[in-house]
Each structure stands twice: as structure tokens, then as C-alpha cells.
Amino acid sequence: MTMISPEERAAMREGFGRLLAEKCAEADIRRVMATQSGNDPALWTAMADMGITALMVSDDHGGIGAGMVEIEEIMEEAGAALLAGPLLSSAFVAASLIGLSHDADAKARLLPAIASGEKIATVAFTGDSGSWDVAGVTATAQPQDNQWILNGAASFVLSANLANVLLVFAQTPGGLGCFEVDSAHVQIEPLQSWDPSLRLSKIMFDQTQAVHIAGVDHATFEQTLDVARVALAGEQAGACRRIFDITVDYLKTRVQFGRPIGGFQAIKHIAADLLIEVESATSAARAAARALDTDAPDKDVLINLAAFACADAFSQVAATAIQMHGGIAFTWEHPAHLYLRRARADAQLFGQSDTYRERFVAAMEKAA
Amino acid sequence: MNSDAMTIGDEVRAWLADHWDAESRRAKAGGSLAQWMDRVVEAGWAVPSWPTQWWGRGLDKKSVSTIVNEFRKVGAPGAGQDRTNITANSVMQFGSDTLKRKIIPEFLTGRAHQCLLYSEPGAGSDLAAVRTRADLQGDHYVVTGQKVWTSGAQNADYGLLIARTDWDVPKHEGLSFFIIEMRQPGIEIRPINQITGDSHFNEVFLDGATVPAENRVGDEGQGWKVMQTALAVERLVMGDGAGERRQGSSKNNVVSLIDIAREAGKIDDPVARQDIAQAMAYRQLNALNMLRAKQDMAQGTASPIMSLGKLAMSRILHEDARVMTKLLGAASMLDGAEHERAADINYRTANAYMTSIGGGTDQIQRNIIGERVLGLPRETEADRNLPFRESRAVTG
């Protein structure tokens, strides 16, 4: 649970929103997309100075100790601006995983540097199947002379190209484990992604030396993914609202047949239906964040609901935004396709809607 | 009681503790519901935001929320009608002082019941096209015309009536709003048989019925504005209801989708499970939206989300019925007492239109959301500026 007051939370969100408006405008996104790294180091430093990279880390390790409610709201802003870079993978997901472990040494060694933004970390959850479950983990780890050796591969690893530290889930003789790998010691193969603002990599392990992270098991794997999913739901809710707002503005200004197209019922009715999706996504993401913070009894219901409702809403709103803009949105120069790219990527990252719908029903059955 | 030293929350809690038994959900002094409501009105809890000379306490919205919440916690009725009571709010805002004194107490105490005489066979979604006429003769109006989709007409003491008083101005400008006594010669009520087999609604035929001029709410020709205020209160109550119903019946509903799947042997069918998830998600998402809207409103911020509730609800009801029908399969062709499950699902299928047509169709709701929430350009109306006498509603 967070110690941050609602006023501090609102101020932080506003400050972050201002920073993004200044440093992460559409031109900046396009510039960063075209770079090798897919990251804006100056913006990263500014976010670190603001404490954004320290949110997930507890205060005894140099962080702020915020809860998911704060992370979710920050991700709404990040999503709205289509922020690229390692905020989600390093500051939120990797920091959360280490925080959930029982490894005092790893915490002391890694968390302060992640909080300050000096070190970038990422988590490798899945193999080539991209199934984001334990069965999908194909990397293996074997103990050998007081250390661990990794073999196999992990894929769809977010921002691995920027990471100093890789946290890799692997199958061990005793079940699922997690291992710290120095990124300098492995081969990282960048994957070309349809959303150029999202950097994915495949990592190959070949007798790679690794350090075991204590106290990370199957449950931690799921808990970390829950954090990742709720943060991502926030990104989707925020992005979905921004592309919707852009579209509604256009409906008021684009004139056809002698009047603004937003005056036509065919268009107006789509907009009203999309507004329900946007508001529902926001409500779902925030409810899931609150449930995760408070370990609420209906946590599983709400996290899975947010996971598919936000993914579906963002996909639907982004896709429909292109249709509602008409020909102009079919050009590379128009921002609508950037949102569609992110929507389609986010809808696969950490799991699929169908899977979440299934998990949602199962959680409801349990509750019924 | 010294209200300076106490918060309004303390005061209302103390008052409720003195007057209401939360265990039995009854007034401590006994008596009828109307007598309890008298006490609530006297104490100023019925309409706390209204001025003190008009049954209120002059409090802000946040205090009203506090009071409503305290009443809700102990299950006591009557508080916060300044947000929900359609008649009392319309009369308070637009009625003469005489009318206020005459009508409002009857409604705040629940002694009088109202029905809404708005829709007509020729004026459904286009409500400004009403043709029921009210002609001033001396100190009263004579009313002639036909209303439809009136619920509760048989039990109503008064009708909230929109009628045309001027045929020579554009359709929105020639309307007036009245509170008419329902129990009088010249008013005939006939039930409407619905596609569900129920008869919740009525047709109301007005033929020379009378209403005193002092029962006009607002000036002549101001009827449209008064009705919009009344409709806004109604929508708020309905949207709120969508959230409220969820607390009670969604659980039943959730159980029943899963139960029906179990009964039908489809609980392990992955396609059925996807359908069930989506139907249940719509319901949960609406509940979460309403919760957020309420939190906004409790802090005194108006929430546009509230206006989405009705449209969301009709999607929920149609989707529930669709999924249930799929789960039931061939058995959904059956009906009647021997096929209870099918009969229930068939009823839901037909009854879902109650929400998607009633109280403004989904399409009108989308127009309203598009225009009032998103600020999109208004729908053009061919007859908006024509004198009503020359409009299609009259000339055909």
C-alpha cells in the first residue's frame, strides 16, 4: 500500500503530464522511433529526476514506495503520449519482481540503481510461444559448481536492447526460478516490431553464467505479471482516451456535405459507443490497481477484467479512429496509426484477451 | 442540538439514532411510512439543499451526499429528494409559491403519486411534437389529446403533463407544463399489452379534462425547459438505478449465466465461456463506471459518465439475453410454466427493449451523449423553426 496522498498523486500526475507534453510530443515520438535505441535519454533523465523511475521501489531502497494506483495513473499519462523506452519494463515490472523476491542482496544491489534510473532492467517471461505462462518458459537453468548456467532462449523481451540487467525466468530441476544475467554476457537479437516505439528482443543463452534470485517461484511469476498487466491496462486506458479525444476534435472541425461530420448520426453514434469503451477502460484499470494494492478478494476478477477490457477498448478505439478520420488517417504522417500500432502490440503483450476472459469467468465461478 | 460544533454527518447520525431503528428498519416512534416521512421533511433531511423556508437546510451537495449515505446505511427512506424527486424538483424550480405550498409536501411525504404524461403516439423520440392541447378558459385550462407509455397511471394522483398552448410558434416554444389531477372525468386510462405479455404501461385519453391555471409549472410556453429539467432528474435516477441494481441483482445474474451454462452442459465449452465473460464484463464495467461517477459527484464534480448508464444498461440486457439464448439452444424455442428457464430467457429477450426504447431510444441517447457530453454539432431538425401549425406533425 502506498503512503502517497491523493493530492501528491494528482500533483505527480500533472507534473508528469506536463513533462510529456513538452518532451514527448508527436514529433519526439517519431524522432525516438527512428533511433537505434528507441529511447530518449534526456527524457529518461528528466523522469528519473522527477522520481517517476523510483515509484515502484520501496523507500528503504531509495525509492518512493508508491502503490499500483499511482503506477496505473502514471501509465495512463505515458500511454496517452505513446511514451517509448524502458519505463514499464525496468522501473515498474523489473523493480516489482525484485521487490517481490526474498533476495535481500539483489534488492540492495539492484533496486537503488533502478530507482535512480542509472540501471535499466527487464524481465524475460516467455519463450518463442509468447504464451506468458509457466509452460511458455523454455530457458533452462542448471546448478554447476556454486553457480547457475542458463541455456535456451527467451523471446518478446521488452526493451532488452537498453537493459544492463536481465531478469530471466527459467525452468530448473526444482521448478520455476529467476536469474539475473548481465546483458553483456548474452546475445540479444533485436526483433523487428510492427510498432516501432516498442522494442522487443530475443535473448539466446549458451552456457550463460547467471545469479539466482532467491524466493521467486511460480506465484511470483504470476504476481509480477499481474503488476505488468495492470500497468499496461493503465497505458491502454490513457492511450485510448487520447486517440479518442483527437478523433472527437477532428469530428468537430472536418466539414463534409456542408457541415462538420460530427453532426451526422452515423458518426455521432459511433463516438457515443466509443466513449463507453474509453470510460469503461479507465474504470477497469483503476479498479484493478486498487484491488491489487489492497489485495481485495475480487482481485483476480478485476485484474483479468481490466486486462481484456482495456486491450479490447484500445484496439477498438484506435482502429475506429482511423475509420472516422477517413483518408487522412491512412497517411504515415497522421498519428492515428501510431496508436493502432501500440494498441495491437499491447493486446499481445503479457497475454491475450481470450485468455483473460477465460480467467475472468473462472474467477467469477470461484466467487459464485 | 448545536450544529456549529457538529459536522452534518454527526448530526444526521445522531438524529437517525434517536428516530430510526436500523435493526427492524422502522421508525422508533412507530406510525405509518407517511408519518415517518413527515418527520424527515420537518427535520430538513428530505431536501437538504433547498432554502430553510422551503423544507430545506441550505446545504451544499457534499453535505447532501453525507446525509443520503447515512440514511442508506441504516435503510431509512426519504432523504436527498432534492436529487431524485421529479415532481418536487420541477415545482420547486419553476412553480409559483402557491403551487409549491400545495403540491410539494404531498410529494415529499410520498402521500401523492405521479405519472408522466409526456409521450404521444405521434411524439415519441420527437417529444416536442406533442399535439395534446391545453386551452385557457378563465382560471383553468381545458385539456384534450392522447398520451401513451404512461406507467403507473391507475395509481397516480397527479400527472406531469406537457401540452401545447400555442400553435403559432415553433414546436419547442408553444408548450406548457402542468400538474393535472388524474382522478377526474375527462381522463380515461387503458392498459397497453406489451410484447412480454405484461401491461406496465397505459394509454391516457384526455377529453375536456381541466387543470387550474395555478397548476401550470413555469410560464406559458416554458414547458419544454421545465420538462428538460424533469427529464434530467429522471435520467439521473435511472442511471443511478443501473448502478444500484447491480449490487442486488447482478450477483443473481452472474450466478444465472454460469448456472444456465452448467445446466445446459456447456460450462466447459470454451466458446460459451468467452460469451459468458463478455456479458458479465459489460455488467461489471458499467457498475465500475457508476461507482466512479458517484465518487466524482460526491466531491461535487458533475460526472458525464452518469449519462452513459442507460445506454450501457440496454447493451447489458440485450447481451445477457443473447448469451442465455445461445446457452439454452433448442430449448429456447419452448415457453410456458413447464419450461421455466426458457420462459425466463424469452421474457428477458423481449423485455430488454424496455430499456433500449423506453425513456429515449438508444439512438436518441447516442445523440444526447454525442451532443451534450462530447460537444458534437446538434442534430438538424427540419421543423425546428417552423410555426407548429405548419409543421409535418400537423400537416402530415
Closest CB to A357 among B251, B278, B311: B278
- Would you tell me which residues 106-145 of chain A have a C-beta closer than 8 angstroms to some C-beta of chain B? none
Shared-domain flag, residues B40 and B138? no
- Would you tell me which residues 261-320 of chain A have a C-beta closer than 8 angstroms to some C-beta of chain B? 262-263, 265, 267-269, 271-273, 275-276, 279-280, 282-284, 286-287, 301, 305, 308-309
Residue B393 confidence (pLDDT) above 90: no
Per DSSP (E only), the strands in chain B are 20-21, 26-27, 114-117, 133-137, 140-151, 158-164, 175-181, 187-191, 201-212, 216-217
Q: Grade residue B240 by pLDDT with cuts at 50, 70 and 90.
A: low
3-state secondary structure of B140: strand
The total number of structural domains in chain A stands at 3
Closest CB to A364 among B258, B312, B378: B258
3-state secondary structure of B149: strand
Q: Grade residue A29 by pLDDT with cuts at 50, 70 and 90.
A: very high
The reply to whether residue A308 touches residue B305, judged by beta carbons under 8 angstroms, is no
Q: State the residue range of the domain holding B53.
A: 8-83
Residue B245 confidence (pLDDT) above 70: no
Q: Grade residue A31 by pLDDT with cuts at 50, 70 and 90.
A: very high
* All cell numbers assigned to B103: 403540491
Is the CB of residue B195 less than 8 Å away from at least one CB of chain A? no
Q: By CA distance, what is A355's nearest residue in B?
A: B274
Contact A68, A230 (CB under 8 A): yes
Element (DSSP H or E) covering residue B27: strand B26-27
Closest CB to A272 among B280, B286, B369: B369
Residue B277 Cα distances to A45, A247, A363, angstroms: 42, 29, 10
Residue B78 confidence (pLDDT) above 60: yes
How distant is the Cα of B152 from the closest Cα of chain A, in angstroms? 32
pLDDT digits (tens, 9 = 90+) for A211-241: 999 999 999 999 999 999 999 999 999 999 9
Contact residues on chain A for B378, CB-CB shorter than 8 A: 263
Closest CB to A279 among B251, B289, B365: B289
* All cell numbers assigned to A363: 474467477
Shared-domain flag, residues B127 and B204? yes
CA angle, residues B296, B299, B304, in degrees to nearest 5: 30
Is the CB of residue B277 less than 8 Å away from at least one CB of chain A? yes
- Counting Cα atoms < 13 Å in the Cβ hemisphere of A220 gives 25
Shared-domain flag, residues A212 and A253? no
Considering the entire predicted model, what is its pTM?
0.88
Q: How many angstroms separate the CA atoms of B199 and B192, rounded?
A: 6
| Preferred mutation among B374, B378, B381, B384 to probe A, highest tally of A CBs within 10 A | B374
Shared-domain flag, residues B214 and B123? yes
Contact residues on chain B for A305, CB-CB shorter than 8 A: 281, 284-285
Closest CB to A284 among B270, B285, B371: B285
The total number of structural domains in chain B stands at 3
pLDDT digits (tens, 9 = 90+) for B120-175: 998 988 889 999 999 999 999 999 999 999 999 999 999 999 999 999 999 999 99
Shared-domain flag, residues B119 and B197? yes
* All cell numbers assigned to B35: 408519518
* All cell numbers assigned to A148: 547457475
Q: Look up the CATH number of the domain holding residue A143.
A: 2.40.110.10
Average pLDDT value for chain B: 90
- Does residue B393 sit within a domain? no
Q: Grade residue B243 by pLDDT with cuts at 50, 70 and 90.
A: very low
The reply to whether residue A263 touches residue B380, judged by beta carbons under 8 angstroms, is yes
The reply to whether residue A308 touches residue B277, judged by beta carbons under 8 angstroms, is yes
Residue A271 Cα distances to B275, B283, B304, angstroms: 24, 20, 14
Shared-domain flag, residues A56 and A80? yes
For residue B244, the model assigns a pLDDT of 41
Element (DSSP H or E) covering residue A260: strand A259-260
3-state secondary structure of B157: coil
Element (DSSP H or E) covering residue A181: strand A175-182
Prediction ipTM score:
0.92
For residue B249, the model assigns a pLDDT of 41
Residue B58 confidence (pLDDT) above 80: yes
Q: How many angstroms separate the CA atoms of B180 and B186, rounded?
A: 12
Q: How many angstroms separate the CA atoms of A265 and B53, rounded?
A: 46
Question: What is the interface size between A and B, counted as CB pairs within 8 Å?
Answer: 113
Q: Which of A217, A247, A270 represents a domain boundary (last residue)?
A: A217
Q: Grade residue A338 by pLDDT with cuts at 50, 70 and 90.
A: very high
Q: Look up the CATH number of the domain holding residue A224.
A: 1.20.140.10
For residue B237, the model assigns a pLDDT of 72
Looking at this protein, which amino acid is placed at residue B61? K
Q: Which one is predicted more confidently, B360 or A183?
A: A183
Q: How many angstroms separate the CA atoms of B315 and B307, rounded?
A: 14
Average pLDDT value for chain A: 96
Shared-domain flag, residues B209 and B147? yes
A3-20 average pLDDT score = 92
- Does residue A1 sit within a domain? no
Q: By CA distance, what is A264's nearest residue in B?
A: B379
3-state secondary structure of A367: helix
- Does residue B236 sit within a domain? no
Q: State the residue range of the domain holding A263.
A: 219-367
Contacts of A5 (CB under 8 A, 6+ apart): none
Q: Grade residue B294 by pLDDT with cuts at 50, 70 and 90.
A: confident
Residue B318 Cα distances to B125, B157, B307, B315, B334, angstroms: 20, 34, 19, 5, 19
Shared-domain flag, residues B32 and B133? no
B304-308 average pLDDT score = 82
**Alpha carbon of residue B198 to chain centroid:** 19
Residue B29 confidence (pLDDT) above 70: yes
Residue A246 confidence (pLDDT) above 70: yes
Looking at this protein, which amino acid is placed at residue A212? H
* All cell numbers assigned to B115: 405519472
In this predicted structure, which of A165-169, B162-166, B180-184, B227-231 has the lowest mean pLDDT? B227-231
How distant is the Cα of A311 from the closest Cα of chain B, in angstroms? 13
Contact A143, A152 (CB under 8 A): no
Is the CB of residue A18 less than 8 Å away from at least one CB of chain B? no
Q: By CA distance, what is B377's nearest residue in A?
A: A263
